[in-house]
Structure 1
Amino acid sequence: MLITKTPFRISFCGGGSDIAAYYHQHEGCVLSTTINKYLYLSIHPYFDPEYTLLKYSRNELVSDLREIDHSIFRCILNEYAIKGVEIVSTADVPGGTGLGSSSTFTVGLLNTLNCYNGKFVSKEYLASEACKIEINKLGAPIGKQDQYAAAFGGLNFIRFHKDDSVSVEPIIMKSDTYRKLEKNLIMFYTGKKHDASKILAGQNQNMLQNSKVKNLQKMTALAYEMKMALEANDLSTFGEILNAGWQLKRTLANGITNIEIDKIYETALLNGALGGKLLGAGGGGFFLFYCEEDKQLQLKTSLGLREFEFRFERDGTSVIYIGDKYWR
């Protein structure tokens, strides 16, 4: 048996600029970090080599890889021609909550299958290949930030260039600032999942509108400002930029926010938060806020939402167990 783990991510600023419709015209960038919540994948030969068993939110037992319902499993297993195995997927958080679950799964599966084949591949390869599968082959209306975050891990400034290349630059700051940032970020679950594809499809379409493009340009400028604030160990400015970024993001497409979400955000600002955002495409999932530790109890009490504790993660996708005879 072989087991891998791949981290989920939280994006602070610049989300949306990783979509090709934008970065082909204007360079995109995001600032994000991976967290200590993971997707785990295990693989080993199945008892009956004529069949392939997949276990995720449902079970699939097939004799022909083309019969697989799960689009990512079907695409990658057919491409790698791996069958006669049992693959089990478990995760610390469900999909549709804004933590990049789909791309985390894709990166994790690619890492798992390459290791199962006895091949070492780079993080860059895993990220770029995951993008090709999700965006080019499966036609998902998504960007590139989640794949690179999951593959590389850590707190990074990621740039998306017009020629489709991607640069990943770690954020350098004092260790005390890093720990304080981690402690001052607090996340809550709204209790609602979202349809990221629907929201992002609308956002892609809106790239034809000059006003939406200008707002996204402002968001990428804020991402650069946030990078400089962190490198200058200025966390108060970080919180203010988080707020400014959310005010711009909510204008990019229908479904990103609603009356209920706006009420949560307003309540948070009145009770200690300097800034925040709904993670992922919007519409539900997790709310992230920047709030000093001495005001976090007041914030928790005022919102009455389930807190979701986390810490930063640095490693990206990795192998955590190798059995005696895992290879093909």
Structure 2
Amino acid sequence: MIISKTPLRASLFGGGSDFRAYFESSSLGYGSVLSVGLDMHVYITVNKKFDDKIRVVYNGNENVDTLDEVKHNIIREALRLVGIEKGIEVIYMADIPMSSAGIGLASSSALAVGVLNALHAYKGEFVPPKQLAEEACYIEIECLGQRIGIQDQYAVAHGGFNRYRFLSDGSVSITPGIINNEIRDSLVKKLMLFFTGNTRDSRNILAEQSDSLEKKRKKLDALVMTVNRVCENIADGDLDCVGEELDRTWQIKKQLAGGISNLNIDLMYETARAHGAIGGKILGAGGGGFMLLYVPENKQDNVRYGLKGYREVPFKIDYQGSRIIFVD
């Protein structure tokens, strides 16, 4: 039996610049995001089955004779990629409801990375985070045809608080977003996470965003430069710039595709701002899921009061990324 544990993630800045259609021909030479691994996880258990069937358990329960019969597309393609075609059981659990697709925390990519990690370990193979991310991208984008970026797979595979640069030659560089531990811890204390109460199918939003990338390159260039500026300001001890830039880039993000925001999200955001939040954003593609806010610590109780109808989710940073936590 093998169990893998893979963090979810919150993307702070640069989302959209991780689409290949952008960074492979960017005038800047790269796309860039600033992302943090969260101590909220996806767990994958893999076990040898007594018979030759394939059993997959999530919010559904499959017990089939052949790989092609597996309905769960990510798990099916991960089994195919690793070369396991029979006699195995795969169970998927998470710290969030498994039915909550479209929450903005990269749960699909965490599933892809986590199941690949567990399946490789089942075969006695150690796979580094870079390979896990590349294979997850291959499954989600090439095999399943999802029109998404590639930041999520790297963020959940590596964990930590990192700046990712997606270079035009296809390579990815990873550096710490904050070197000073004290500054990093102080920043995390100023971030608050609230569930909007709504989920959404992000595929339509992401497809529209992908279709319109050519028209919005200047906006995406501005988001990339924001990542660089924020990292420099944080290094100088200016944490409030995070809130200010979250507010500014949220206004840009809403212009990238329809459905990223709506009246309820706008009201929630303006309520948070009126009660002391400096800035914030909807995580992921938008339209629902989780809202991340930058709030000075002396204003956080005010924001909690203003958003008392929404569930706050405290979090810490997961620094380990996807890992194997049990082998028997």
TM-score normalised by L of structure 1: 0.95
Spell out, residue by residue over 1:133-155, the C-alpha distance to the aligned partner (whole angstroms, 9 max, x if none).
11112111000100000111100
Matched with 2:284 is 280
The unaligned stretches of length 5 or more in structure 2 are none
Matched with 1:181 is 187
Matched with 2:322 is 317
- Does the Cα contact within 8 Å between 1:256 and 1:281 map onto a contact in 2? yes
Matched with 1:130 is 136
Q: Does 1:300 align with 2:304?
A: yes
Matched with 1:171 is 177
Matched with 1:3 is 3
> Residue type matched to 1:224 in 2?
N
The 5 A counterparts of 1:138-149 are 138-149=144-155
Partners of 1:138 and 1:164 in 2: how far apart? 20
Matched with 1:56 is 58
Spell out, residue by residue over 1:81-109, the C-alpha distance to the aligned partner (whole angstroms, 9 max, x if none).
32211111001124310000111111111
Partners of 2:240 and 2:163 in 1: how far apart? 19
Partners of 1:80 and 1:29 in 2: how far apart? 30
Q: Report the CA distance between 1:239 and its aligned residue.
A: 1.3
Q: Report the CA distance between 1:78 and its aligned residue.
A: 2.1
Partners of 1:231 and 1:19 in 2: how far apart? 27
Partners of 1:81 and 1:63 in 2: how far apart? 16
TM-score normalised by L of structure 2: 0.95
Secondary structure of 1:263's counterpart equals: helix
Partners of 2:82 and 2:241 in 1: how far apart? 47
Q: In terms of mean alpha carbon deviation, does 71-80 or 101-110 score higher?
A: 71-80
Tell me how many residue pairs correspond in the alignment.
320
Q: Does 1:90 align with 2:93?
A: yes
- Does the Cα contact within 8 Å between 1:277 and 1:287 map onto a contact in 2? yes
Q: Report the CA distance between 1:232 and its aligned residue.
A: 1.9
Secondary structure of 1:312's counterpart equals: coil
- Does the Cα contact within 8 Å between 1:173 and 1:232 map onto a contact in 2? no
Q: 2:245 aligns with which of 241, 244, 254?
A: 241
Q: Identity over aligned residues, as a percent?
A: 43
Q: Report the CA distance between 1:267 and its aligned residue.
A: 1.2
Coordinate RMSD, CA, aligned: 1.1
Secondary structure of 1:186's counterpart equals: strand
The unaligned stretches of length 5 or more in structure 1 are 324-328
Q: Report the CA distance between 1:57 and its aligned residue.
A: 1.4
Partners of 2:184 and 2:213 in 1: how far apart? 35
Partners of 1:169 and 1:288 in 2: how far apart? 22
> Residue type matched to 2:184 in 1?
Y
Matched with 1:41 is 44
Partners of 1:64 and 1:176 in 2: how far apart? 52
Secondary structure of 1:16's counterpart equals: coil
Partners of 1:31 and 1:105 in 2: how far apart? 21
Q: Report the CA distance between 1:77 and its aligned residue.
A: 1.1
Matched with 2:234 is 230
